[in-house]
Structure 1
Amino acid sequence: MNVLVFNCGSSSLKYRLIAFPSEAEMAAGEAQRVGPATAEPARIYHRTAGCEQQVHYADMPNHGAAFKEVMQLLKAAGLEPDALGHRTVHGGALFTQPARMDQEAIKRLEGLNDLAPLHNPPTLNLMHSCTQQYPELPQVAVFDTAFHATIPDYAYTYAIPEKLRSRHGLRKYGFHGTSHQFVVEEAARMMERPLAGFSTVSCHLGSGGASLCAVKNGRSVDNTMGYSPLQGLIMSTRCGDIDPALTLSLLTSMHGKEEAVEQVLNRQSGVLGLSGGSGDIRDILADAETDESARDTTSAYTWRIRKYLGAYLAVVGQADAVIFTDTVGEQVAAVREMVCRGLGCFGLKIDPEKNRAVSALPCDVAATDSRVRILVIQTNEELAIARQVYQTLLQKRPDTNAGKEFHHEPLST
């Protein structure tokens, strides 16, 4: 079975064709500048196994047009998908596992658009285009929130009136679940432990978004993100945890302009807001020896991660490992070392030389006498999605998402 995975951005469309059961990558690429015309023409960077990357120029006014171009490129190479997989950011409380997306399921997913107004609509538009152009191809949505469906109610419930929680769907959902699940499964395999008895803290530290996930006996029990991806760690341009009263104060000072406040908290804060220069922690680290602002930003960034790591190690109990993944987690040894420093009380001890010498992944950078292993594992969300699509279709299991009802009203009503 050839599974074609899509990761739909607001103006891009990443894709990867993976053959099963071998998990061989047959083709991959990215359509860029999808949407209204820009200063440069829309294009697709496309490669097939064993061949050099090609650049294909085409008008792509929407994701449906981009999908059509991708399918033509695959056909020209003699490749055809048997199923389509969609990375879907938010499934709310309705979709708690991968789901086949027929017209009824797509309609139910559309009802959750207000929970992820920037991310879900482009994916839904792509699903509609896939249905129109290739109705015979089964589509499966894999949700970033689904891995966190096992978070217990006492951890996902906000301490606000129940009537408001129920009416508007106000609760912690958690994000980056596809990545967290992938690296947790890889870590258990690497340590030759059964997943059902494996406990860890997964640190997904991207150059943009970032979150930690507490995993006990193979199941997510907490995630630093919440109702939205704004909660938790200090990220590239997102503030992470703040006092809710600060948001109210900003609304007052900005004369009730919600979009202006959202712009500040989501796009002007985090590493960028602290440093005043760059939103990339790698840039800040490069200046930390000589620039006081860079040092302060680095301290705040790593302290927030270390605080949550300690809390989550307490939550999971006897952790088998701590996992670092994604761009910063995989590539920035200094962040790993600063985050793990001083956590010996949890049985965590990093080997500085091993940590700085990382070249091939996965690897273990813990000291020999560290009770908890420290693993650096490369995430692969596209492969994770493809695996779940393959398993969903192969097992032909009933859709346990079907028939669920999740009524909520947008906060603006």
Structure 2
Amino acid sequence: MLNLTTIRYTDTDFDSRLADLLAFETVTDSVLISTVNDIIDEVRRNGDQAVFAFTQKFDNHPATSMADLFIAKDYLKNAFDDLPEHVKTALQLSASRIFEFHQHQVETGFLFTDTLGNRLGQKVTPLDSVGIYVPGGLASYPSSVLMNAIPAKVAGVKQITMVVPAPKGVLNPLVLAAAHLADVDSVITIGGAQAVAALAYGTDTIAKVDKITGPGNKYVAAAKRAVFGQVGIDMIAGPSEVLVYAEGQANDNADWLAMDLLSQAEHDTVAQAIFVTTCEKQLADVRVALDKALTNLPKADIARAALDNRGALILAKDRSHALDIINQVAPEHLELSLDNPDEVLADIHHAGAIFMGRHTPEAIGDYCAGSNHVLPTSGTARFSSPLGVYDFVKRSSIIHCTSDGCLPLAKTADILAIKENLTAHALSARYRYGDVSFKEEV
């Protein structure tokens, strides 16, 4: 029987229990941070030698040199060609839909002429190089390859380097096939903090990149935080999350709802699955359905631990209260199992991805809806967005003043610079309109 937290709006300590449920820090452990910093420092000092040593130590990789850690592009193609046809078709469909979705995110920049005759605008430029981290070993996700590499390709990134750990030298052929399909430029079988450090600082054989994206374990997350500033990063990814909301309507199916919760709980013992409803009977039905589903789930032990550790069944007073809860949680994945989910969409302010209606399970978003499955976690959907093309470009402002159009702007800049006590700023602007005789305020 699940030891699943249940919170009802009638509980006098509702707010504090909800806050406790959501309290989670991704990479604050001092021992973890110290270990990661030591690994990064070692890679910075000794480059390939350190990367190779850590790879043998942590992954027990049978390679005898750094060269053995690089995967040739024809090997990637062979991995794709050797897939069963139905798997190949599924991977191709997923890739094509991800490509189509992300093409809609392409920014072209803009230029306009203001009323003074000056040209203003924005230039959008793709990053030169990115590194994408893909989990390896037991958690091998070809979908993560597609979700990170395809938006970068759509953005126009010139060089994509993929790192993926290969414990004991073993790689998932699907991950390699996905790298081929996404046209990844280089694949290196390294992982952990050492891979992040190698991408951030470069070594003799690994070129440094401008940005690192992709999920990993706590060591990867801590390393990404540590190198931020040296390179860009997408986000600090925490454990997977889902919040499923229903209202006990006639078309609801408790088995569906339970399995959608389990689809995230099976990821990790600290994943979070929360069910919110306004119906007491539905709360009980979903609890029963969860217990039933766990009897046959291959990863039942992981899912059960996740539900016991961080899962919850929450009874809201009404729809308005439920929406308040959703926005407080700011879930990575939000399922709206409602007859008319559009009725509440405008009131959802914080969510990584929103799955509308009963026939849109979160699993479709993970693989083939087309939207990105790299999403903000741990409440960061309050200020962050899914990974997208916009993460692989940078924007430069363009300002081109004419001699006449400069005059009123230079005078304005002169006045404001004086007020900020920045004399050189003021004179720089003043030279443009030819009046440097006025010394009173300089």
TM-score by length of 1: 0.23
Structure ranking higher on relative contact order (CA contacts 8 Å, 6+ apart): 2
More helix by share: 2
Report the structure number with the largest CA radius of gyration: 2
> TM-score under structure 2 normalisation?
0.22
